[in-house]
């Protein structure tokens, strides 16, 4: 198991909530990116999710799409990711999030080995279904790089348990129907709401009691983070909220303040009462 999975597991055992923060590599210069990573660490996040751009990211909402376009326009290459990873992993455990074609084009199993050698603990590929794991060769969960699978509100119980058994590091539970982001999609039809996943999370934990479950997609504030924990999740993943501010030119210290407020959602004492407040969930 990779370091990220290990840390998440320990925190689950200690009943501590976890927060992963996502930013797109190459959407800003490496110094700015690393400045954000250091700021997030200072704010108390558990791990970093590093996005690598793909030209056609089908699971992404407008914010991450824009970040990917910007990154590609800046000429970001696989080698840039490999150069960045050791510096990120010096600060925090790291998961890389990209699309299957990018990994296959860099040799599939060979690409995963490169990621691991450069400090990545896990890889998340939203267009890799359970059935596609074999495409990545025999590597899989071995040797310290976890392949994290995603489950969705649409996933039925039987399949959810299969995903729980096969995922590496943690299970990424998508909290809503829709793409990443705050729901302000390009069209009204892509705006959706987070759902109550208490039952799904309970089923996963019953199947694999030590497996951390992290919920993501559309996290807006500490209350959303808190709400996931109240549903039984071990943590939350936040991406578009931060990337949107980065796209708009926010600097690392501004983002740090946002992340600090999200980390507060991990502490039940402070926000325990708020979790029951009606938020249209």
Residues contributing to the site for other proteins (CB under 8 A): 53-61, 65, 69, 72, 77-78, 99-106, 126-129, 131-132, 135, 149-156, 159, 163, 174, 177-179, 185-187, 189-192
Q: How far is the CB of 232 from other proteins (least distance, A)?
A: 19
Give counts: helices (H), strands (E), the chain. 12, 9
Q: How far is the CB of 250 from other proteins (least distance, A)?
A: 23
Q: How far is the CB of 141 from other proteins (least distance, A)?
A: 18
Task: Return the number of the residue (175 or 227) whose C-beta is nearest other proteins.
Answer: 175
Task: Return the number of the residue (42 or 59) whose C-beta is nearest other proteins.
Answer: 59
Task: Return the number of the residue (34 or 100) whose C-beta is nearest other proteins.
Answer: 100
Q: How far is the CB of 281 from other proteins (least distance, A)?
A: 17
Burial 106-116, CB ≥16 within 10 A → b, else e = beeeebbebbb
Task: Return the number of the residue (10 or 55) whose C-beta is nearest other proteins.
Answer: 55
Distance CA 214, CA 226 (A): 12
Query: Using CA of residue 201, residue 207, residue 211, residue 216, what is the dihedral sign?
Result: negative
Q: How far is the CB of 144 from other proteins (least distance, A)?
A: 24
- Cβ partners under 8 Å of residue 48, min gap 6: 20, 21, 22, 23, 37, 40, 88, 91, 92, 93, 94, 95
Which candidate, 58, 44, 281, places its Cα nearest to that of 176?
Answer: 281
Q: How far is the CB of 154 from other proteins (least distance, A)?
A: 5
Length of the chain in terms of residues written: 281
Which candidate, 107, 157, 162, places its Cα nearest to that of 130?
Answer: 162
Task: Return the number of the residue (126 or 212) whose C-beta is nearest other proteins.
Answer: 126
CA distances from 228 to 46, 90, 167, 222, 246 (A): 16, 28, 20, 10, 25
214 and 8 Cβ atoms separated by less than 8 Å = yes
Is residue 105 classed as helix, strand or coil in its secondary structure?
helix
Task: Return the number of the residue (31 or 157) whose C-beta is nearest other proteins.
Answer: 157
Task: Return the number of the residue (32 or 78) whose C-beta is nearest other proteins.
Answer: 78
Task: Return the number of the residue (160 or 271) whose C-beta is nearest other proteins.
Answer: 160
Which candidate, 163, 171, 155, places its Cα nearest to that of 210?
Answer: 171
Q: How far is the CB of 231 from other proteins (least distance, A)?
A: 18
Q: How far is the CB of 129 from other proteins (least distance, A)?
A: 6
Distance CA 47, CA 92 (A): 5
């Amino acid at each position: 198991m990779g370091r990220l999975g290990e840390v998440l597991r320990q925190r689950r055992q200690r009943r501590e909530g976890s927060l992963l923060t996502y930013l797109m590599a190459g959407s800003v210069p490496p110094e700015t990116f690393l400045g954000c990573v250091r700021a997030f660490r200072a704010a108390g996040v558990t791990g970093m999710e590093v996005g690598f751009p793909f030209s056609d990211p089908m699971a992404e909402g407008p914010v991450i799409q824009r970040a990917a376009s910007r990154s590609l326009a800046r000429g970001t290459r696989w080698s840039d990711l490999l150069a960045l990873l050791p510096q990120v992993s010096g600060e925090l455990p790291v998961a890389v999030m990209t699309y299957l074609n990018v990994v296959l084009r860099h040799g599939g199993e060979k690409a995963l080995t490169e990621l691991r050698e450069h400090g990545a603990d896990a890889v998340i590929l939203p267009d890799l279904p359970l059935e596609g794991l074999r495409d990545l060769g025999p590597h899989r969960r071995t040797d310290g790089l976890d392949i994290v699978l995603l489950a969705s509100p649409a996933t039925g119980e039987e399949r959810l348990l299969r995903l729980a058994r096969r995922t590496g590091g943690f299970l990424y539970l998508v909290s809503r129907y829709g793409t990443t982001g705050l729901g302000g999609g390009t069209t009204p039809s892509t705006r959706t709401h987070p759902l109550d996943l208490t039952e799904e999370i309970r089923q996963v934990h019953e199947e694999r009691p030590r497996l951390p479950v992290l919920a993501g997609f559309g996290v807006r504030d500490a209350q959303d983070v808190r709400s996931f924990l109240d549903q039984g999740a071990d943590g939350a993943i936040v991406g578009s909220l931060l990337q949107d501010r980065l796209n708009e030119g926010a600097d690392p210290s501004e983002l740090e303040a946002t992340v600090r407020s999200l980390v507060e959602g991990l502490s039940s004492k402070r926000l325990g009462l708020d979790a029951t407040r009606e938020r249209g969930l």
